[in-house]
Amino acid sequence: MPGTSPGLTETLSKEHAMNIMNVDYSTKIPNNVNLSEDRQVLKALEGWHPGYMNWWSDMGPEGFQQSLVYLRTAYSVDPRGWAKFDYVRMPEYRWGILLAPQEENRVIPFGQHFGEPAWQEVPGEYRAALRRLIVIQGDTEPASVEQQRHLGKTAPSLYDLRNLFQVNVEEGRHLWAMVYLLQKYFGRDGREEADDLLRRRSGDADSPRMLGAFNEATPDWLSFFMFTYFTDRDGKMQLHSLAQSGFDPLSRTCRFMLTEEAHHMFVGETGITRVVQRTCEAMKAAGISDPADIAKVRALGVIDLPTIQKKLNLHYSLSLDLFGSEVSTNAANAFNSGIKGRYHETQIKDDHRLEKDTYPVLKLVAGEIKRVDEPALTALNMRLRDDYTQDCVKGMLRWNKVISTAGYDFKLTLPNVAFHRQIGEFRDIHATPDGVLIDDATWKARHGEWLPSVDDGDFIASLMTPVTEVGQFAGWISPPKVGIDNKPGDFEYVKIET
């Protein structure tokens, strides 16, 4: 700006940054994307809003819609302070469109457009591929809310009930995030896709959600914790990859979604820790030395460690399927064209094009599981899945620490990647959790040893009686170490309407 003092320029750019950080609440849809001046998109979103509210009322949490829930709501995208906590009725939660601030001069960090300026509009040749990824991402968000809609009735405490609802409203916001991209950047077919996101239903025979794990039931709270640990973590990995996208609005959207996602995985990790903790305490108090003595442990009203392992086997293997086939031309094309990168792409030290590189992939070769070098480009799903597995191990170490500190010789483990797969290299074979290939008859006879059986489900269901007294917890789970927003143990996280 000629003739302007450096001080003023600085002030102006700071003001600009603050505008992006702060959210405009004057429109029906809170946002930091200047919707009040983008009338067409605002109109499309306002047109979509009633359908969303109908979906929330039909498929969102069952009951509790008039309860006051102590929720955090995003009011800014400043990482130093972006959320405020208050009592909110869920239908009055402000589902907003929030994008992380635009990075100045951002370039595409991988693929054949490496180093070119990031796109602010959708490049014509990648339109269909980008729309597909955004639709798949969008589809998972309402799916998870649908899967969890019955859980409020059996919450083990008000603290847990509040966490469930926090996760649910934020998954709803993540749906809004994808719908904004579809409506702003994909015209008429984007609007049709946005409508379809409200039409499909988790587990529906005619119109199911798009990815396998999102059509499975979440029948109890142990499943909920496993889901938020393992399946939300797939969400983390996929969002990280999309946050690298050359399509800048997608990148900025995903970056902010990741801020909220961390809490969802926290709910899963600490939830499982608390279940394991309670089981160990109860076994110790009753003088049980063998954690595999299932009948004795269950008689104490806690979930035995072998059953926790079975639930873990189920949710981990379902989540591995979400990475697609180990060798995938879709993945190669998405990377080459600059629309989906790798986990922590900008921190990886290589040429970010991968044209000549290879990556070791686990494959079935002559009836054996072997590592085979494949072109790195087609192996990108496998690579992301490996990054995911490494990330999963961290929580496991914490759970095992609780078990060993209690003096028990029992370790929770991740099953082999060939175990219980429906997608990819191992979908047509059966393997034990240790990775030993077995025939159909052996699988049929033994799968109940490794995956939750009907009896296991019935036992867990028998423990799922709601606890709604302030500061109280069901007998199968320990209280958390600290409260949400540092609230004390007797805080009323949900004021249930009477």
Contacts to ligand BYC by CB under 6 A: 133, 136-137, 140-141, 144, 171, 211-212, 231-232, 234-235, 238, 321-325, 328, 330-331, 340, 381, 423
Facing residues of 438 across strands?
Answer: 430
Least Cα distance to 277 among 377, 176, 405, 122 occurs for 405
Q: How far is the CB of 333 from ligand BYC (least distance, A)?
A: 9
Q: How far is the CB of 215 from ligand BYC (least distance, A)?
A: 9
Q: Where are the beta strands (DSSP E) in 398-496?
A: 430-431, 437-438, 494-495
- Residue with Cβ nearer ligand BYC (177 or 484): 177
DSSP element (H, E) containing 285: helix 248-285
Q: Decide the pairing of beta strands 83-89 and 358-365.
A: unpaired
Q: How far is the CB of 295 from ligand BYC (least distance, A)?
A: 34
| Residue of this chain nearest to ligand BYC (CB atom) | 324
Dig out the tokens for 470 from the structure.
């302030």
- Residue with Cβ nearer ligand BYC (323 or 343): 323
430 in Cβ contact with 438 (< 8 Å): yes
Q: How far is the CB of 227 from ligand BYC (least distance, A)?
A: 7
Q: How far is the CB of 447 from ligand BYC (least distance, A)?
A: 20
Q: How far is the CB of 239 from ligand BYC (least distance, A)?
A: 6
- Residue with Cβ nearer ligand BYC (298 or 363): 363
Q: How far is the CB of 449 from ligand BYC (least distance, A)?
A: 25
Phi, psi of 107 (to 5 degrees): -115, 160
Q: Where are the beta strands (DSSP E) in 53-113?
A: 68-74, 83-89
Phi, psi of 189 (to 5 degrees): -70, -30
- Residue with Cβ nearer ligand BYC (328 or 432): 328
Phi, psi of 173 (to 5 degrees): -65, -35
Q: How far is the CB of 97 from ligand BYC (least distance, A)?
A: 17
How many CB atoms are located within 10 Å of the residue 463 CB?
19
428 in Cβ contact with 446 (< 8 Å): no
- Residue with Cβ nearer ligand BYC (229 or 476): 229
Q: Which amino acid is at 25?
A: Y
- Residue with Cβ nearer ligand BYC (157 or 238): 238
Q: At how many degrees (to 10) do helices 305-321 and 248-285 cross?
A: 170
Q: How far is the CB of 112 from ligand BYC (least distance, A)?
A: 18
- Residue with Cβ nearer ligand BYC (226 or 275): 226
Report d(CA 216, CA 210) in Å as an integer: 12
- Residue with Cβ nearer ligand BYC (141 or 220): 141
Q: How far is the CB of 36 from ligand BYC (least distance, A)?
A: 29
- Residue with Cβ nearer ligand BYC (232 or 386): 232
- Residue with Cβ nearer ligand BYC (220 or 425): 425
The answer for residues whose C-beta is within 8 angstroms of residue 94's C-beta and 6 or more apart is: 25, 30, 73
Q: How far is the CB of 384 from ligand BYC (least distance, A)?
A: 8
How many CB atoms are located within 10 Å of the residue 490 CB?
10
Report d(CA 142, CA 244) in Å as an integer: 24
Q: Where are the beta strands (DSSP E) in 418-475?
A: 430-431, 437-438
Q: 373 by DSSP, 3-state: which? A: strand
Report d(CA 272, CA 398) in Å as an integer: 10
169 in Cβ contact with 163 (< 8 Å): no
- Residue with Cβ nearer ligand BYC (144 or 270): 144
Dig out the tokens for 126 from the structure.
């990648």
- Residue with Cβ nearer ligand BYC (90 or 133): 133
113 in Cβ contact with 337 (< 8 Å): yes
By CB neighbour count within 10 A (0-12 exposed, 13-18 middle, 19+ buried), where does 129 fall?
middle
Q: How far is the CB of 385 from ligand BYC (least distance, A)?
A: 9
